[in-house]
A and B are shown apart, each in its own frame.
Chain A
Amino acid sequence: GAGVSQSPSNKVTEKGKDVELRCDPISGHTALYWYRQSLGQGLEFLIYFQGNSAPDKSGLPSDRFSAERTGGSVSTLTIQRTQQEDSAVYLCASSPINWGEQETQYFGPGTRLLVL
C-alpha cells in the first residue's frame, strides 16, 4: 500500500516568512510523529499525535513551531517567522495502533527546507 507522503519535497523561503509542511500518514495509522533532521543535531523528535488525545509537543524548539492534525489523518507543521537555523529536513512518521506494532514508525521522504 501507499506509504507516508509529504509535501512539498523541497521548500526554499526567505528569513521571516511562514511555511507549512504537510504529511499524509499511512491509512489507518493512528499515531503520527514529526522529526527534524539537521547536519549538526541529527534526528530530533518534534511532536506526536495519537488519535484524539492531546499532542505531545515536548520536542518543539520554540513557539514559532506548531502542528495540527485534522480528522485524525493529515498533519500540517507550521513554522512562523522562519530563521536560517530552521533549515533542515522535516520528516513525518506514522505508526499503527496494533499491540506489538505501535513502536514501529514508518517514515516519509521528508521536506527539505532551506531558509535564505
Chain B
Amino acid sequence: QQQVKQSPQSLIVQKGGISIINCAYENTAFDYFPWYQQFPGKGPALLIAIRPDVSEKKEGRFTISFNKSAKQFSLHIMDSQPGDSATYFCAASSSGAGSYQLTFGKGTKLSVIP
C-alpha cells in the first residue's frame, strides 16, 4: 500500500513558468515532509522541508504548501529554469516511529524547456 502518492509522473514547463508537484499521504502520524531533488547519476538532495504546524514555507524560488486536513502537500517552483530539470521526490516521516525512515512518493520528472 503506497502511503505517499505523488503526481504528476512527468512535467514539462517553459522557462520562467511555475512548476507544481502534488503529494498526498495517508498516515496521520507523519510529521515531517521533505522534498528531494535528484539529478541523473546522483543521490537525492534535500531541497526544502515542512512540518505540519505551518501551512507554507518558502525558500528562494521553492515553496511548500501544506494542507493538514486534506493530507496533501505540494511543491511550487517559481521562475523555473532549465537547471531545475531533475526528478523530484516528496517524502514523509514520523518522529513516533523512532527511526525517522522516509516514505517516498514515486517521483516527478521535471523538464524545463528554454
- Taking Cβ atoms with an 8 Å cutoff, the residues of A that contact B are 4, 31, 33, 35, 42-45, 48, 50, 56, 59, 91, 93, 95, 102-110
A35 to B41, CA, bound (A): 15
Let me know if A56 and B102 touch, CB within 8 A.
no
Interface residues contributed by chain B, number (CB under 8 Å): 24
Q: Smallest CB–CB gap between A75 and chain B, Å?
A: 14
A56 to B93, CA, bound (A): 14
Contacts A56-B99, A103-B32 given; indicate if A110 touches B43 (C-beta within 8 A).
yes
With an 8 A cutoff between CB atoms, is B89 at the interface? yes
Provide the residues of chain B in CB contact with A35, threshold 8 Å. 102
Let me know if A109 and B101 touch, CB within 8 A.
no
Provide the residues of chain A in CB contact with B99, threshold 8 Å. 33, 48, 50, 56
Q: Smallest CB–CB gap between A100 and chain B, Å?
A: 10
Q: Smallest CB–CB gap between B83 and chain A, Å?
A: 19
Provide the residues of chain A in CB contact with B49, threshold 8 Å. 103-104
Query: 6 nearest interchain CB pairs?
Result: A107-B43, A43-B104, A48-B99, A45-B101, A56-B99, A103-B32
